[in-house]
Amino acid sequence: MLDIRFVKENPQLVKENIKKKFKDSKLPLVDEAISLYDSKRDATNRASELRANRNKVSKEIGMLMGQGKRDEAEALKKVVNDQAEELKSLEIKEAELETALKEVMMKIPNIVDESVPVGKNDEDNVEVEQFGEKTNPSFEIPYHTDIMAKFNGIDKDAAGRVAGEGFYYLMGDIARLHSAVLAYARDFMIDKGFTYCIPPFMIRSNVVTGVMSFEEMDAMMYKIEGEDLYLIGTSEHSMIGKFINTITPEETLPLTLTSYSPCFRKEKGAHGIEERGIYRIHQFEKQEMIVICKPEESMEWFHKMWSYSVELFRSLDIPVRTLECCTGDLADLKVKSYDIEAWSPKQQKYFEVCSCSNLGDAQARRLGIRIKGDSGEKYLAHTLNNTVVAPPRMLIAFLENNLKFDGEKYSIKIPKALQPYMGAITEITEK
């Protein structure tokens, strides 16, 4: 969320930013916000005048009563009472305008970084760099759920009977592999100096609206009926929420945390090959990383964070590339974002497995996350987040890129980095 004073002083810049994001329907919000701010300021100023006048007149009434001038004192009392009614009305109006202004401001997109390419949607995202040689095996790669089935590793039919579409049972070696990847990712981030955390898996509505836009909230979040609680779509939500209404001493920054959680999302599915299988599901597990830092350090941390994901995937012999999200593909709170995509030898294309984002001070402004400098000044922090790994998507990439076939049976190679988490085995063999 932007500062309303910034919007009032730079309305054209804010409108140009909206146009860059191809969200022209939001252009009227700028003038609406300024109008609400001016009205609220007028109401606040008038209320302040009335309070000051009340204090002044109250002293005059006391003096008149002391001088025995009751008629004059009573006349002033009537003025004070009349103004009290006006003040009460103004205070109600102030609160209403404040609520309306906040609602409008939360819909105005954050200012994107100057380096972000302009584009309408994800088709205009720009490749930054590829890492690792694309694997092109001499045998045909089965569909990922078929790979799992060859190792007795998945049961979607039973999950459908128990929970419906968008769920699955992982079994045996595939389930163990899933857990091993998460454990390896946890230790990988701890070795990078991040503090490990298991957060709440539910959050209140004020945290939800603090960490994401209304559009994202409606598309993703499951609400607990009868409670002011939502199931998290990613642990970033509760991890950033951990610092709501806090003031952090500057010398303790940056705060770097890595968290494990299940995630719950209202996925609608996709087209073609991604419509089936376990690409888009309602429940999955994830290792996340977040950073809270000084504004001048946020871009440095942004580049560190996406590079950690690249390093982790390459340690598991998975080719990846980084893709810069264009203006039209950035969520409203984001300043800059990279997608990390893994190579799929089955599809002969890359697909998203991580998303690294710098949100500037947008979340901090909504949640009241502030920093206290050495001289006592307080200012808003910058927040960043990035996926470490998110099985099952990461598991799909792992299976396709580490699958072997000797002409009769399939096996899955276990890279050296993962072997300690798999009981030191070097491969999984077909059942």
Burial 79-89 (b: 16+ CB within 10 A, else e): ebeebeeebee
382 found inside a domain: yes
Q: Is the pLDDT reported for residue 269 higher than 70?
A: no
**CB 146, CB 381: distance < 8 Å:** no
110 found inside a domain: no
Which phi and psi angles does 126 have, rounded to 5°? -115, 125
Please name the residue that has the structure tokens 């909206």.
18
Enter the tokens of residue 308: 């950690």
Per-residue H/E/C for 105-158: HCCCCCCCCCCCCCCCCHHHCEEEEEECCCCCCCCCCCCHHHHHHHCCCEEHHH
- pLDDT bucket at 55, cuts 50 / 70 / 90: low
Residues 31 and 148 in one domain: no
Enter the tokens of residue 9: 């002083």
Residues 190 and 335 in one domain: yes
Who has greater pLDDT, 391 or 120?
A: 120
Summarised one tens digit per residue, pLDDT across range 106-159 is 999 999 999 999 999 999 999 999 999 998 899 999 999 999 999 999 999 999
Specify the pLDDT at position 272.
43
Who has greater pLDDT, 91 or 68?
A: 91
Specify the pLDDT at position 273.
41
Q: Are strands 195-197 and 255-264 parallel, antiparallel or unpaired?
A: parallel
Last residue of a domain, one of 105, 138, 154: 105
DSSP secondary structure, 39-78, as one string: HHHHHHHHHHHHHHHHHHHHHHHHHHHHTT-HHHHHHHHH
Secondary structure of residue 30 in the 3-state scheme: helix
Residues 342 and 204 in one domain: yes
Residues 356 and 230 in one domain: yes
How many whole angstroms separate alpha carbon 77 and alpha carbon 81? 6
113 found inside a domain: no
Summarised one tens digit per residue, pLDDT across range 1-23 is 899 999 999 999 999 999 999 99
Residue 413: its H or E element: strand 410-413
Specify the pLDDT at position 372.
97
How many whole angstroms separate alpha carbon 209 and alpha carbon 368? 12
Q: Is the pLDDT reported for residue 271 higher than 60?
A: no
**CB 171, CB 159: distance < 8 Å:** no
Last residue of a domain, one of 46, 79, 105: 105
**CB 327, CB 119: distance < 8 Å:** yes
Cis amide linkage into residue 249, ω under 30° from 0: no
115 found inside a domain: no
Who has greater pLDDT, 122 or 77?
A: 122
Residues 78 and 150 in one domain: no
- pLDDT bucket at 61, cuts 50 / 70 / 90: low
Domain that holds residue 133: 122-429
234 found inside a domain: yes
Question: What's the mean pLDDT in 20-34?
Answer: 97
Give the number of domains in the chain: 2
Distance of CA 142 to the CA centre of its chain: 34
Enter the tokens of residue 192: 């990078």
Residues 66 and 36 in one domain: yes
Least Cα distance to 306 among 321, 326, 293 occurs for 321
Residues 150 and 96 in one domain: no
Summarised one tens digit per residue, pLDDT across range 205-239 is 999 999 987 777 777 889 999 999 999 999 999 99
Enter the tokens of residue 401: 């890129």
**CB 54, CB 76: distance < 8 Å:** no
How many whole angstroms separate alpha carbon 370 and alpha carbon 292? 10
Residues 126 and 238 in one domain: yes
CATH of the domain at 328: 3.30.930.10
Residues 208 and 270 in one domain: yes
**Total residue length of the chain:** 431
Q: Is the pLDDT reported for residue 373 higher than 50?
A: yes
Contacts of 146 (CB under 8 A, 6+ apart): none
332 found inside a domain: yes
394 found inside a domain: yes
Q: Is the pLDDT reported for residue 65 higher than 90?
A: no
Least Cα distance to 418 among 149, 76, 186, 121 occurs for 186
Question: What's the mean pLDDT in 171-191?
Answer: 97
Summarised one tens digit per residue, pLDDT across range 252-268 is 999 999 999 999 988 75
How many whole angstroms separate alpha carbon 242 and alpha carbon 200? 9
Residues 287 and 224 in one domain: yes
Give the CA-trace dihedral at 332, 335, 338, 339, to 10 degrees: -10
Residues 221 and 72 in one domain: no
229 found inside a domain: yes
Q: Is the pLDDT reported for residue 294 higher than 60?
A: yes
Give the CA-trace dihedral at 241, 242, 245, 246, to 10 degrees: -140
CATH of the domain at 78: 1.10.287.40
Last residue of a domain, one of 105, 138, 171: 105
Summarised one tens digit per residue, pLDDT across range 413-425 is 999 999 999 999 9
Q: Which of 134-148, 245-259, 263-277, 343-357 has the lowest mean pLDDT?
A: 263-277
**CB 33, CB 105: distance < 8 Å:** yes
Question: Mean pLDDT across the chain, nearest whole number?
Answer: 91
Contacts of 1 (CB under 8 A, 6+ apart): 105, 106, 108, 110, 333, 362, 365, 366
Residues 140 and 101 in one domain: no
